Structure formats: structure tokens, C-alpha cells
Structure 1
Amino acid sequence: MTLKHPFYKTCLLALLIPFSAANAEIIIHGTRAVYPSDAREITLQVTNTGKSPALVQTWIDEGDAKATPDQSKAPFIITPPITRVESEKGQYLRITSLPTANTLSKTQETLFWLNVLDIPPKPSTKDKAAAPDNFLQLAIRSRIKFFYRPSGINEDVALAPEKIQWSSQGNNLLIKNPTPFHITITTISQEHLGKKVNILSEGIMLVPFSEQKIALKNSNIKDMTFTTINDYGGRVERTINQ
């Protein structure tokens, strides 16, 4: 595909896609990252599964998916912020907290988002006369949750889903999270007309000490099951406690 307007040529034609795409060649090792408040730093690995080198830019934002790296006020530094990753090679990224992280809550997690932008190389050809003057370059961004977890929390994060409080209110299911952790629920299954049906149209995330309502198929919540995601990206199914 070629574009003829000179504006696109001078601007590199970089289009930002703010979500993971099926053809992304820079892979993040993990679906989430956790930064314990007493850690000096944590590391995150990315791998280039493509056949060409890629330029990778990383940054952490506070929740605005449209925020650029220079607009972020998240109290973390990633080293290196921009790096070249060779074909079929990996790169470790060091994430360090700034002194301003001390102002974050000491009693519950704080959620940030980690961005990895994959900028592919400019297309080339051995025949310079045949090289395109105008081209479309897609920069694909992956974005994962980044949790800042205070070391003073005495509760076990692995047990947080078991503490969720469930109750039916007419045609709604009330879900309360009484813990200081973020809990991601991917499915909630209920018996309906003799079949087990997932009543979530999409996953939900319960922020610390919050509640949400979703619609029920019927008012009976006995033996309902739900699936959560743990720190390692694994899915764990449990039966709702009554």
C-alpha cells in the first residue's frame, strides 16, 4: 500500500494501535507485572519473534491509554526506555521506582499500565530505484497491568479471590472486594436452563475495597463458579462461597 501525500512521508507514517495485535512480533514475557514497594528494581523480558530487528519503546502510564511517554507522571524509570531488539533475540528491561513512589498508598495496591511499542524497520530493497518513496509503517503497542504493591500489606494475594463477597439482589449479582488487591475476574458461570452459562460479557477488574453489579440469569447463585487471574497470568477457577 502506498500513500502519496507528502505529509505522511515526512512523518514516517507511524500509526499507533493501542492494543495487542495478532501480528505483533515483540512478545512480553508475562500478562502483568508486580512491583513490591521494598524492591530496588524488577525486570521484564521482551523477545523479538520476527525475522527483522525492531525498535522497542517502553513506558508506564497512570491509566490514560492515549498518554504519550513524555506526559506520564508514573513514578518509575525503565532502562533502556528505547532499545533495538535483534531478530529472535530477547531484551531485559529494568524498572526502578522513583522517590515519589513513597507518596503512593501504603495500604492497598496502585494500578499503572506498562506499554511496549514495537516499531518495525523501514522496508528496504536491494534495488534502490525500486524502493518505495511512501510506505505505511505500523507501530504496534502492547499494554499490560502494572501493580505497585505495598510491602506492608499482611494479607496473601493468592487468597484474595476467596474473600470476595457475593450476594444476589433481584436480577443482579453484587460482588464486593474487601481486600487491598486488584482482582481480575474473567468468567462467572451460572446454571441456567440445565446448562452452565458464563454471565460475563467481558472480564471485570475489582479495584481494592470496591463493589460491582452484573445481571443474573436467575436469582440462584448456589454452586456458581468464577475464574480469576493470578500474579503469573494463570487462570484459577473457584466455587462461589455462600
Structure 2
Amino acid sequence: MRISSFILTALLFFTGLQTAFAGVMLSGTRLIYPESNREVSLTVRNPDKSTDYLIQSWLENNDKSSDAKVPFVITPPLFRLDRDTDNILRIANTGGNLPSDREALYWLNVRAIGATPKGQAVNRLQLVQRTRIKFIYRPASLNKNEAADAYKSLTFTQLGKDLVVKNPTPYYVSFASLKVGGKDVPEPGMVAPRSELRLSAPGSGTIEWQAINDYGGKTPAARQ
């Protein structure tokens, strides 16, 4: 009985923590930085009525093996977000070696650590929530309207059991869905500018796909 009571208490404890952490939200699922902008911003919202959070944010390279300094700065990088409030992250270009003919991809990380309520033990177990979204730099030479239609330019070729996706555009294209002969391709991911992506094909037939636009929504379906 003691063991059962402990397990039940632990489950209720973790459920409560997960519910609390679900309250910290970002205003977008991706962030586009046009070269012409001095800065871009993202809102971090805490609708939780009972928990304050420590928020830490940083940018990292898409290439995990790269030790190059990310040419953007976030302010504030660390702050307290009180219950039922929000704050704005501002991101500015610090002047780095950025491409002029294609988009560049980075990852924006936001970590939330729940505050320990008064009267509770200092060594109380805390869970950390980390949200990671795409941060895309778009050179001034690229057109926003063309970016919205870039997914239509993808081409697909079957090579053995592989499906080869080619992206001739200077834009990143993230799949919202991809089907071959009516069968879903699991986790199709993203294809980089002027690059190709190889996926395991579930069969053959008509290819249908949707992409994710600048605002995190789905595009109309395209077919090949």
C-alpha cells in the first residue's frame, strides 16, 4: 500500500508539473528575419496563474558541428517571467558573414524553469521546459511572395527505395505532410535551399505534399 500510494503521489506530482509547464508559450513556431529589419521580436507568454518562471534564450547554428559564432544577439537573454504576464525577446543582427543569395537557418531556444513555491523544500524536483523553433535569415535579394510559393518548385524522383526531393529555390521548405501513392512519409522534415533530401519511399504513385509557411500555417496541397 505504501508503494502504491507513493506511485500515485508521484504521478499526480508530475502531471501537475507538466500542466504548469504547458503554460509557457511563444507567439510563433518560427521566426523570419528579413535583412532590411533592424530587429525582430517574439513574445513569451506565461498564462499560468500560480507559477513564475526563469526564462533563458539563445541561438545556435543549424550545423551542430560548427563552432562559428551566431551573428545575432537576443535581449534579454535571461529574465523572470511572472505569472499571467508576457515579455518580448528582441533579436538583432550583429553583422556576420551571412549569405546574400539564399536563406540561412539557425535555431532559437527558449528554456523555462519553474520557480519553487514559498514554504517548499529547496531540493524539490524541478522539470525544465525547452522550446526550439526555426530562426531563418532572409536576404534582401529574396522576395517574400516567392518564398510563399517555393514549395511548389520541389521535384521528386524515385531512386530504388529512396525518394529524392530536390529544392532548386533559395528558400528553406519545411514539410507539413508528404504522401506517396496515398501513403504518408513519416517525419519528412525540411529541405535546404538549392539542395536535395533523401527519404524512404513507402511505395510509388502520385506525390502530394504541403509545406509550412512563414506564419506556421499549412500551404495548399501540391501534386506531382
Settle same-fold status: TM greater than 0.5: yes
Structure 2, gaps ≥5 residues long:
1-17
Name the TM-score, length of structure 1 as normaliser.
0.77
Q: Aligned partners of 2:135, 2:208: CA distance in 1, in Å? A: 27
Which has the higher mean CA deviation after the structures are superposed, 158-167 or 72-81?
A: 72-81
Q: Deviations over 1:36-90 (max 9, x none)?
A: 11110111111002222211111111136799xxx88211111111122121111
Structure 1, gaps ≥5 residues long:
1-20, 126-130
Corresponding residue number in structure 1 for 2:151: 161
Task: Compute the displacement of 1:174 (Å).
Answer: 1.8
Alignment length, in residue pairs?
204
Q: Superposition pairs for residues 14-53 of structure 1, below 5 Å?
A: 23-50=21-48, 51-53=50-52
Q: Aligned partners of 1:66, 1:190: CA distance in 2, in Å? A: 33
Q: Verify the 8 A CA contact 1:57 1:81 in the aligned structure 2.
A: yes
CA RMSD, 1 decimal? 2.3
Cα 1:133/1:79, change in 2 over 3 Å: closer
Cα 1:216/1:147, change in 2 over 3 Å: same
Corresponding residue number in structure 2 for 1:232: 215
Corresponding residue number in structure 1 for 2:112: 118
Q: Percent of pairs identical after alignment? A: 34
Name the TM-score, length of structure 2 as normaliser.
0.82
Of structures 1 and 2, the one with the larger relative CO (CA 8 A, separation 6+) is 1
Q: Aligned partners of 1:182, 1:197: CA distance in 2, in Å? A: 24
Corresponding residue number in structure 2 for 1:207: 192
Where in structure 1 do 4 or more consecutive aligned residues deviate above 6 Å? Answer: 64-67
Cα 1:57/1:185, change in 2 over 3 Å: same
Q: Verify the 8 A CA contact 1:166 1:240 in the aligned structure 2.
A: no
Q: Superposition pairs for residues 165-184 of structure 1, below 5 Å?
A: 165-184=155-174
Q: Verify the 8 A CA contact 1:225 1:237 in the aligned structure 2.
A: no
